[in-house]
Every structure is written in structure tokens, then in C-alpha cells.
Structure 1
């Protein structure tokens, strides 16, 4: 069975520790995500999982009230046995 997984890099303005916690909390509540990586200094967030990238960006924008820009989308094919 073949499943499509996505790796998406987004730009989110993370100014302080409060913003970091707000973004992290929003990412942890999204069930479709497998893993995430928040790069505070570069204002980048990378997420990996089985989802539609635009839907995840909209969810993060609504939960954090911050502008979200999608920088890169990679779709991966992974076979599970």
C-alpha cells in the first residue's frame, strides 16, 4: 500500500518565547503531523506527516494568529508492508 507523506517548510514570525510556545502548542494539537522542527532563529517550521499542506498552514494561522508562508513542499512516496 502506497501512502503520500509531505514535508513542508513554513515561515512563521517567532519573536519571543511566548510566540514559540504558541506555535509549538498549535503544532502538537494537529493530529495529522508525525514530527515537527521549529527553528526559532531562522523563523522556520518544518512539519512531516500525511496531510494537505495548505490545510495545515491554515490551521496554524488560525490557532496562532500569525502569518504563515509556505516555503517548500516535498511529497514523498513511502511503501508500508
Structure 2
């Protein structure tokens, strides 16, 4: 903070409260899954978000049923506003690219409704049905495999 900033804060005559820093919202990209059947639905979804404070851009992909909102907004507020204004079932975008998931075809994670190249994102570690083996487990299981030439020496 420079000397001029310090002096301007001391001699501030605005009469407001003396908050040095305001809590500013971060620029975010919020992806939402909402069913869009026709141009009317698309227009309704777009209008529900257009007037929202802090929104800088809106992008709609009707074939994927995806709404992308960029701006200084909070995700839960965008979801609740779209749900309230449109009357549709709305949720945060539940899919991630296929390359980012360790086991994309794990039971309970794979979704046939997912767009091409995406799989459902599963955040809950308790619901995993297929876990990766640790390095210690891999070492013990490969020690006694048929492919290990030194396995006979151990037995």
C-alpha cells in the first residue's frame, strides 16, 4: 500500500464505514445441467440468468443440456435462480472428461446419459466400488505371479 493510498484513507470524507477491503466475489465459471428441449426452453433459461448481478457471459449447449455462466457469482445462487425462474430440475454439471478419471467404468460412476467423452463425476470416496491397489499390494501380488521369473526362488 503506497503513501498516497494511506493518506487518501485517512482523509476520506465519504461518510461511509471505514472498511479497507470489501469481500469481493471471485470470477467463476458455473456449469449447470438443465433439460433444454426447444428454442423456447433455451430462451427461458437464458432470460432467467441474464438479469442476475455479476454475470458476464452465458453459453448454452442445448444438445448436451448444459448452461455455462461466467461471472462474479456463487454457484448455488445460480442453480436456485434457474430452478425458480424456469421450474425445471437443475443440478451442477455432474460430468468430467474421460481422461481425468482413474476407473471410468466403475459401477455407480458410469452413466449412459453422459455426453460423448465424459463420465459422471463421483466425489464421495465412500461410494467407490473399485479402488486402485497401493504400491505395497502390487508388489506382493506380482511376487507370486506366473510372469515373475524369480517366483520359483521364493517358493
Q: What is the TM-score normalised by the length of structure 2?
A: 0.43
Select the structure of larger CA radius of gyration.
2
Match of 2:88?
A: 66
For residue 64 of structure 2, give the secondary structure of its aligned residue in structure 1: coil
Match of 2:45 among 23, 41, 49: 23
Larger RCO (CA under 8 A, 6+ residues apart): 1
Q: Deviations over 1:9-48 (max 9, x none)?
A: 1101001111111111112121221101000111100011
- Tell me what 1:43 maps to: 65
Query: Which sections of structure 2, spanning at least 5 residues, go unmatched?
Result: 1-20, 95-155
User: TM (normalized to structure 1)?
Assistant: 0.79
The gaps in structure 1 that reach 5 residues or longer are 73-81
Report what 2:14 is aligned to: none
Q: How far 1:71 moved relative to its partner? A: 1.5
CA shift in 2, pair 1:3/1:53, >3 Å: closer
- CA gap of 1:3–1:64, structure 2 versus 1, over 3 A, is closer
Query: 4+ residue stretches of structure 1 with deviation over 4 A?
Result: none
If each structure's strand is expressed as a fraction of its own residues, which one has the higher value?
A: 1
